[in-house]
Amino acid sequence: MRTLLIALMFVHAMAVPCLAETFQERIGLCLTCRGENGQSDNVEVPSLGAEPAPFVLIQLYLFREKQRRVEPMTDAAKDLTDDDLRQFSDFIAKLPAPKPPQDGPDAARMERGRGLAQSYHCGFCHNPDFSGRDNVPRLAAQREDYLVKALREYKSNTRPGYDASMAEVTQPISDAEILDLAYFMARAQ
């Protein structure tokens, strides 16, 4: 039901762009789902604030070319020009970084997640503070449910990604570890 609700929001948002003329109007529609301050309040919809522009550009490109199929986005991106992709990416990268939930994190679980992130070398590419760089996304304070979803998709090869790195790294990670990693990353500052 929640998924349906979000899908409907996307459909609503996507039905309008042909009428919307300016960049501000078009990006405004994206932010309906994505959060005006770079922070998403919607289940399994990622926060995009401070994501590196090259990463966002790659994802928008993959949506447009249907290499990454997530229905609302595949449809939303299908008519975007290369310049649109660049403009959207640059704008999104400048949105403020999302903030972690203030829910008094479970210290033991945080420690477990931190240890896993170290063992799996997440910080090699995503930076030691998980802020991301270039084509590598920011993970810090990402929505926990989205991190779980993305990691499970990489592991099952249903989200192969741009290059093969994430599909590879997730192979040995258990589902229980995915939950702890996501819990930790979502609360990393």
Partner 1 sequence: MTLNASIGRRLLRAGTIAATFAAWPAVAQQPAPQPAAPAAAAPTGPAAAPPWAQGRPEAAIGVPLAPIAPPPIPTAADKLPIEKLKAPKGFKIELYAAGVGNARTLRQGDKGTVFVGSRLLDKVYAIVDRGGKREVKPIYSGLYRPNGLAFKDGVLYIAELSRISKVEKIEDNLDNPPKPVVIYDDLPKDEAHGWKFLTIGPDDKLYFEVGAPCNICMPSPAHAQIRRINLDGSGAEVVARGIRQIVGMDFSPITKQLYFTENSRDWLSEDIPEDKLNRLTQPGKDNFGYPYCHQGNIADQEFGWGHSCDEFTKPIALLGPHTAALGMRFYTGNTFPSEYRNAIFIARHGSWNRTKKIGGDIVVAKLSEDGTVKSIEPFITGFIENNNYVGRPADVEFVKDGSMLISDDFNGAVYRVTYSSTVGR
Q: Which of 17, 28, 100, 160 binds partner 1 (CB under 8 A)?
A: 160
**What is the number of other CB atoms lying within 10 angstroms of the CB of residue 154?**
22
Under the binding rule (CB under 8 A), the answer on residue 77 touching partner 1 is no
Residue among 114, 116, 119, 150 nearest 129 (CA): 114
Q: Quote the CA–CA distance of 69 and 180 in Å, as a whole number.
A: 27
Q: Which of 29, 116, 185, 188 binds partner 1 (CB under 8 A)?
A: 116
**Running DSSP on this structure, what letter comes out for residue 68?**
S
Q: Which of 20, 31, 109, 120 binds partner 1 (CB under 8 A)?
A: 120
Under the binding rule (CB under 8 A), the answer on residue 57 touching partner 1 is yes
Nearest approach, Cβ of residue 51 and partner 1 (Å): 14
Under the binding rule (CB under 8 A), the answer on residue 96 touching partner 1 is no
3-state secondary structure of 133: strand
Q: How far is CA 55 from CA 104, 132, 138, in A?
A: 31, 9, 9
Q: Which stretch binds partner 1 (CB under 8 A): 23-31, 42-50, 140-148, 172-180?
A: 172-180
Q: Quote the CA–CA distance of 18 and 40 in Å, as a whole number.
A: 24
Under the binding rule (CB under 8 A), the answer on residue 71 touching partner 1 is no
Site residues for partner 1 per CB under 8 A:
54, 57-58, 61-62, 65-67, 82, 85-86, 116, 118-121, 123-125, 127-128, 133-136, 157, 160, 162-169, 172-173, 177
